[in-house]
Amino acid sequence: MPDRQLAATGKHLPPSVDRGSMSDVDFSVEKYEKHRHAGEILAEVRDEAAERVEVGVSHLEIAEWAEDRIRELGGKPAFPVNISIDEEAAHATPSIDDEATFGEELVNLDIGVSIDGWLADTAVTVNLSGHDELTEASEEALDAALEIVEPGVETGEIGRVVEETIDGYGFNPVVNLTGHGLGQYEQHTEPNIPNRAVSQSATLSAGDVVAIEPFATDGAGKVREGSDEEIFALDREGSVRNRRARQALEQITEEFKTLPFATRWLDVKRPSMALKRLKRNDIVHGYPVLKEEAGKYVSQKEHTIIVTDDGCEVTTRSR
């Protein structure tokens, strides 16, 4: 699931500080094993879910199947399954009573897994619409990015490779969406991984865990916020007087912590009303569906990687 910081601020992050000697990283420590385990589960679920996406199949059926399959394999969803259609780029997930089914469309599946808060994040475009080159553009851009990852590489250089690859297909990268670092119970941490060349960027170090996710479009190359909002996350601890909002907050803090969750995951009556109260009190924030501003198609491909001493390890590659 992409980082929205560039979309919100229009600014680039400054170079990261030195995080120590690259040779000091112990890749056998528990957190890396949990990142890897999350990636193994996620690769299997992503591939199985993508095979189930067909014309006439329910969005809600796919989302709930994938989330249940993650739990069955020993993980937890790191965020609600994103099912973005055509001009939608991110943050679309079915509502509790959603009746939408797939048509001859471009379908982006963005899925995450948590093992004790250590995360993996991946996405794939299922092409039911005949947009073969657009789908290939984001796939090739990701492959090109992975080829240059190593300690010392600038994230702006990764963005340059992504941009040049997508440009080579005659399309535009979505420039106000980025990849991101992954922390424990933190879906978006430094560094941001841009999808275009930037002059100021962070430097990757061995041990960094990041999600690289190129977006390609036949539109203008920017997204805007839509009105639909089914995904939320906790901003801060707080108190509310309304009983249902209080029950929802208890579930959020105990079960989801700071990770994104769906309205349909809440075990309270009228969950949308409970969330409105929590949002009004600045306790949670929502993720509006992001749409290509010209209403054109968007494709996406994403892997999670661990930066190693001599390159990178892709944790979400198909086994």
Q: Give yes or no for a contact between 208 and 155, defined as CB atoms under 8 angstroms apart.
A: no
Among residues 38, 36, 217, the alpha carbon closest in space to that of 141 is found at 217
Q: Do 261 and 253 form a contact (C-beta atoms < 8 A)?
A: no
303 known ligand binder: no
Task: For residue 131, say whether it is annotated as part of any ligand binding site.
Answer: no
Spell out the domain ranges in the chain: 5-13+27-228+288-314, 231-286
3-state helix, strand, coil split of the chain in percent (to 5) is 30, 25, 40
Is 208 assigned a ligand-binding role in the annotation? Answer: no
Contacts of 61 (CB under 8 A, 6+ apart): none
- The residues carrying an active-site annotation are 110, 121, 180, 188, 213, 302
SS3 letters across 202-255 = CECCCCCEEEECCEEECCCCCEEECCCCCEEEECCCCCCCCHHHHHHHHHHHHH
Per-residue pLDDT of the chain (319 residues; tens, 9 = 90+): 876 544 433 322 333 333 333 457 888 899 999 999 999 999 999 999 999 999 999 999 999 999 999 999 999 999 999 999 999 999 999 999 999 999 999 999 999 999 999 999 999 999 999 999 999 999 999 999 999 999 999 999 999 999 999 999 999 999 999 999 999 999 999 999 999 999 889 999 999 999 999 999 999 999 999 999 999 999 999 999 999 999 999 999 999 999 999 999 999 999 999 999 999 999 999 999 999 999 999 999 999 999 999 999 999 999 8
54 is in an annotated binding site: no
pTM value > 0.85: yes
Rounded to whole angstroms, how far apart are CA atoms 161 and 191?
17
Q: Which fold has domain 231-286?
A: Arc Repressor Mutant, subunit A (1.10.10)
CATH 3.40.30.10 fits 5-13+27-228+288-314, yes or no: no
